Amino acid sequence: MELKVDKANQYDADKCILRIDSKALKNLGVKPDTIVELIPNAEKGFDVVPQPDTEGKIDTFPSTERPKNTRLFFVLRELYMQDQNTNKARLDEQDREALKLNVGDKIRLHKCEEWEIPDGDLMP
């Protein structure tokens, strides 16, 4: 699924929030207000991995500042009514920088069916 990157509105600035429309949420199989991790995937853009025990429960993100050089966690939210069916993904400036995207770029989101941990990558 491909969405056009747009600026976040003032309510979402500095909040690690990714807003997409309800159709895109259904495609990803994720409820609104769920923390997800976006994992870069060379072929598919970003794999969207919902975090356990956060589905539909997160009102605000614990931190307002995006940590540098860390995993890409977002609260996945539904777009406001006026933005439905526009194929937009709204992200604030620090989140666009973290994803290396600019306004007008396309972001490709891929539903992650099952997360596989490669051999040798397990924690001791």
The verdict on residue 121 lying in a domain is: no
Look at residue 24 and tell me if it is in a domain: yes
Three-state DSSP state, 87:
coil
Pairwise CA distance, residues 90 & 79, whole Å: 8
Q: Is residue 50 part of a domain?
A: yes
Please tell me the predicted confidence (pLDDT) of residue 83.
Answer: 86
Stated pTM of the model: 0.81
Residue 117 lies in a domain: no
Domain contains 12: yes
Q: At 24, list the tokens.
A: 């895109």
For the chain, the domain total comes to 1
What range does the domain containing 17 cover? Answer: 2-111
116 occurs within a structural domain: no
- What was the pLDDT predicted at 38? 94
Residues of the chain below pLDDT 70: 59-69, 113-124
Residue 93 lies in a domain: yes
Q: Kindly report the CATH number assigned to the domain that includes residue 89.
A: 2.40.40.20
End-to-end CA distance of the chain: 36
pLDDT in tens, 57-83: 776 555 555 666 578 999 999 998 888
Give the pLDDT of residue 114: 61
Residue 123, domain member (yes or no): no
Q: Are 37 and 51 in contact (CB under 8 A)?
A: yes
Are the C-beta atoms of residues 30 and 48 closer than 8 Å to each other?
yes
